[in-house]
Amino acid sequence: MIRNTLMAALAVALFALPGQAQQKANFAGTWKLNPAKSDFGPIPVPDSRTDVISQTDAAITEAVDSTGEQGEEKYTLTLTPDGQEKTIAADSPASHIGMLTLQKISSAWQAGGLAVTENAQYDQNDVLIKSNYTLSADGNTLTIASHATSSMGDVDFAYVFEKQGAAMASTASAPAAPAAGPAGAAATAGPHPNLSGTWKLNNAKSDFGQMPPPDSRIETIEDNEPAVKIDTALTGGQMGEMKFTTNVTTDGKESTSTIMGNEAKSTAHWEGNSLVVTTAMQFQDNSIQIKNTYALSPDGKTLNLTTEFGGPNGAMQQKMVFDKQP
């Protein structure tokens, strides 16, 4: 339901600051390969692949189970993201990763994800593989993008995995919800709360995290399910005075809007009584992911907005509280 892609611009500005605290992505879970979304380059497409990842502060363990034209392959990668190169003994089970013989491996946290470097051999050829592990803003998609270099040439490929057991966006259109009642009335009639109204930011009750708060912000929402229109007016803070309108639909279909001259693509869906909007955009040559979750208080007088940002220098979160205006 929403928009807060404006806050993406604020996030980018902060991401560019040196010494910014960085949160580490959590890759733990069971991940199933989606061949249709992956790019295998010249590599044979597997029939199936499932990665089970366990993660602690000190290590990440990735158990791979793959089937394809080479039959079933099972192996486990142990990553210690301290940037130190580890030598793998030739007779160790850890040295066998599919058709490759792993000799050395290192990993380190970097802006937006995990960088992994592997030195291996394939049929008497030395192979250097550099991979980047990244999570989508909603945490439901894992992408492992790799570049392999050897005497046989260079190869690029990307595996896209979907998290198993994760809540997926609804693709069914929600029935129309009735218009909001008088100010102060509970807006809970129908299958979902109706977020219509004029909402004023309450700075004192909000937590802006690492971002400077604006002087004021008003969200005017017209919630006519599945269509939602949000007019935003903001003054002060890092971006100064801004006004813009965003239109989305809550049926899971992608919508496009323009934020500060940049194209932003969003999908919206309901998770219980909370509206979740996921947005992806480019800003100053950086890929930004934003997850906004809107939740209405039981009395219909307060709108809570949790925003999670993912960008080149890590992740940030802020929680904003809006009071309904007469």
**Chain position carrying tokens 């690029």:** 156
Q: Which two tokens stand for residue 153?
A: 């040439």
Q: 21, 22, 74, 81: which is closest to 56 by C-alpha?
A: 81
**Token pair 């809970």 in the structure block, residue:** 188
Burial 227-238 (b: 16+ CB within 10 A, else e): ebbbebebeebe
In whole angstroms, what is the distance from residue 67 CA to residue 72 CA? 4
172 is written with which tokens? 């069914």
Q: So where are the chain's domains? A: 6-20+168-324, 29-163
Is 244 in a helix, a strand, or coil? strand
User: Across the chain, what does the average pLDDT equal?
Assistant: 79
- In this predicted structure, what is the pLDDT of residue 175? 35
> What mean pLDDT is predicted for residues 119-137?
90
Say yes or no: do domains 6-20+168-324 and 29-163 share a fold: yes
Residue written as token pair 């590599």: 43
User: What type of residue sits at position 318?
Assistant: Q
Inter-residue contact 137 to 310 (CB < 8 Å): yes
CA–CA dist 1, 224 (Å, integer) = 10
Q: Superfamily assignment of 29-163 in CATH?
A: Calycin beta-barrel core domain (2.40.128.20)
What pLDDT is recorded for position 170?
34
Task: Give dist(CA 89, CA 116) in Å, integer.
Answer: 18
pLDDT of 19 above 90: no
Q: Taking residues 167-189, report their average pLDDT.
A: 35
Q: Which residues pair with 242 in a beta bridge?
A: 234
**What is the rounded CA–CA span in Å between residue 31 and residue 267?**
22
Determine contact, residues 193/181, Cβ cutoff 8 Å: no
Section 194-219 average pLDDT: 89
Query: Average pLDDT in the 33-50 region?
Result: 90
Tell me, what DSSP letter sits at residue 188?
A: -
What confidence category does residue 31 fall into, taking pLDDT thresholds of 50, 70 and 90? very high
Mean pLDDT of 40-65: 89
Q: Closest by alpha carbon to 20, among 318, 316, 317?
A: 316
Q: Confirm if 287 and 311 have CB atoms less than 8 A apart.
A: yes
Structural class in CATH, domain 6-20+168-324: mainly beta
Q: Average of pLDDT values for 122-143?
A: 90
Beta-sheet pairing, 242-249 with 227-235: antiparallel
Q: Which two tokens stand for residue 210?
A: 């690492």
pLDDT, tens digit, 9 for 90 and up, residues 234-283: 887 666 687 877 788 888 888 887 776 778 888 888 888 888 888 887 76
Structure tokens at 274: 């909370």
> How high is the pLDDT of residue 191?
67
**DSSP 3-state assignment of 310?**
strand
Highest-scoring range by mean pLDDT, 79-83, 258-262, 279-283, 314-318:
79-83
pLDDT tens track for 288-311: 788 889 999 988 899 999 988 776
Q: Which two tokens stand for residue 298?
A: 């039981």
Cα–Cα distance, 97 to 230 (Å, whole number): 50
Of the chain, the percentage scoring pLDDT greater than 90 comes to 34
pLDDT band at 86; cut points 50, 70, 90: very high
